[in-house]
């Protein structure tokens, strides 16, 4: 083969290599990168405080479950629920260790708890209430005077109800780990009255059909808020934006009406 023939073959080979390299480069650079997976939003809850958080037929349900899922949707983050006992120092430790992002568990925002958490704007206004047996001749004056040590009052352990009873009542406090156990204690007359968050008390009375009566209500107005680690103020702002968006879009109101008799004015986020 003469020189001219070799030159033609060499030119064709160079063209083939050039085209192949171009195709390969286009394949590498033109293929869109896989989108990064959205970061999980991990909420801790006890799942024993209906109607806020509880389990039913093996499913996690409640006002706060719906609220948490809606917050995740507003932020574009899938939600994971982590069950832990209601214990303030332990919950704070879980957040510090990075095993969860926030606590959404019918948690009252108080000044004392600010040593453990940063709080979002409030999403629920509540108060404490007292129930006793229907056959009890209730004496409001005796209650306002703190009762006597002969009276046994049931409260949930490590809650604001326990703190309130410690400050205002001389009655003997008996603590329990769940609202269901608290109500059974009154039903069995292990205690003479129970002091607990009013929405939780009303739920127990409606669902369990106990022969109790609510004798005091509107005690110590409180607010629920989402708790975040002290080292993550940016997450507080992110959650606050989501809460305000849910209210603006009417999602919060829909969730509230689903779980409560909302014939009057609905609560406002952050107030």
Kindly give the interhelix angle for 233-248 and 63-75, rounded to the nearest 10 degrees.
100
What pLDDT, on a 0 to 100 scale, did the predictor assign at position 82? Answer: 98
Q: How many CB atoms lie within 10 A of CB 234?
A: 9
Select from 3.40.1310.30, 3.10.450.50, 3.40.190.10, 2.60.120.260 the CATH code of 41-123+225-259: 3.40.190.10
Asked whether residue 21 carries a pLDDT value surpassing 70, the answer given is: no
What pLDDT, on a 0 to 100 scale, did the predictor assign at position 11? Answer: 52
Average pLDDT score over the chain: 88
Asked whether residue 266 carries a pLDDT value surpassing 60, the answer given is: no
What pLDDT, on a 0 to 100 scale, did the predictor assign at position 209? Answer: 85
At 158, the pLDDT band (50, 70, 90 cuts) reads very high
Average pLDDT over residues 20-33: 47
Q: And the tokens for 76?
A: 């574009």
Asked whether residue 30 carries a pLDDT value surpassing 70, the answer given is: no
Global pTM reads 0.83
Q: How many CB atoms lie within 10 A of CB 231?
A: 11
Q: What are phi and psi of 2, to 5 degrees?
A: -80, 175
Query: Lowest-pLDDT range, 43-57, 94-108, 248-262?
Result: 248-262
Instruction: Please give the Cα distance from 206 to 54 (Å, whole number).
Output: 16
Counting residues of the chain whose pLDDT is more than 70, the rounded percentage is 82
What pLDDT, on a 0 to 100 scale, did the predictor assign at position 36? Answer: 59
Asked whether residue 262 carries a pLDDT value surpassing 60, the answer given is: no
What pLDDT, on a 0 to 100 scale, did the predictor assign at position 260? Answer: 83
Q: Tens digits of per-residue pLDDT, 38-59?
A: 799 999 999 999 999 999 999 9
CATH 3.30.300.180 fits 126-221, yes or no: no
Intervals of CATH 3.40.190.10 along the chain = 41-123+225-259, 126-221
**Which has the closest alpha carbon to 201: 106, 59, 91, 82?**
106
């Amino acid at each position: 083969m003469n020189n001219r023939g070799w030159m033609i073959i060499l030119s064709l080979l160079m063209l083939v290599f050039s085209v192949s390299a171009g195709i390969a480069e286009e394949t590498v650079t033109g293929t869109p990168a896989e989108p990064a997976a959205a970061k999980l939003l991990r909420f801790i809850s006890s799942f024993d405080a209906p109607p806020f958080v509880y389990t039913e037929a093996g499913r996690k349900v409640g006002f706060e479950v719906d609220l948490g899922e809606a917050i995740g949707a507003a932020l574009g983050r899938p939600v994971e629920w982590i069950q832990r006992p209601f214990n303030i120092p332990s919950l704070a430790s879980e957040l510090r260790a990075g095993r969860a992002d926030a606590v959404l568990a019918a948690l009252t925002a108080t000044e004392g708890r600010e040593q453990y958490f940063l709080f979002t704007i409030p999403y629920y206004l509540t108060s404490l209430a007292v129930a006793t047996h229907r056959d009890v001749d209730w004496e409001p004056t005796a209650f306002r005077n703190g009762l006597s040590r002969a009276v046994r009052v049931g409260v949930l352990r490590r809650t604001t109800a326990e703190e309130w009873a410690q400050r205002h009542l001389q009655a003997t406090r008996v603590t329990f780990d769940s609202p269901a156990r608290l109500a059974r204690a009154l039903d069995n007359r292990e205690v003479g009255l129970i002091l607990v968050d009013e929405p939780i008390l009303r739920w127990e009375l409606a669902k369990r059909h106990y022969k109790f009566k609510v004798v005091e209500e509107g005690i110590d107005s409180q607010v629920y808020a989402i708790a975040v680690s002290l080292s993550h103020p940016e997450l507080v702002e992110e959650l606050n934006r989501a809460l305000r968006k849910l209210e603006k879009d009417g999602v919060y109101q829909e969730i509230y009406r689903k779980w409560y008799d909302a014939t009057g004015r609905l609560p406002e986020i952050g107030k």
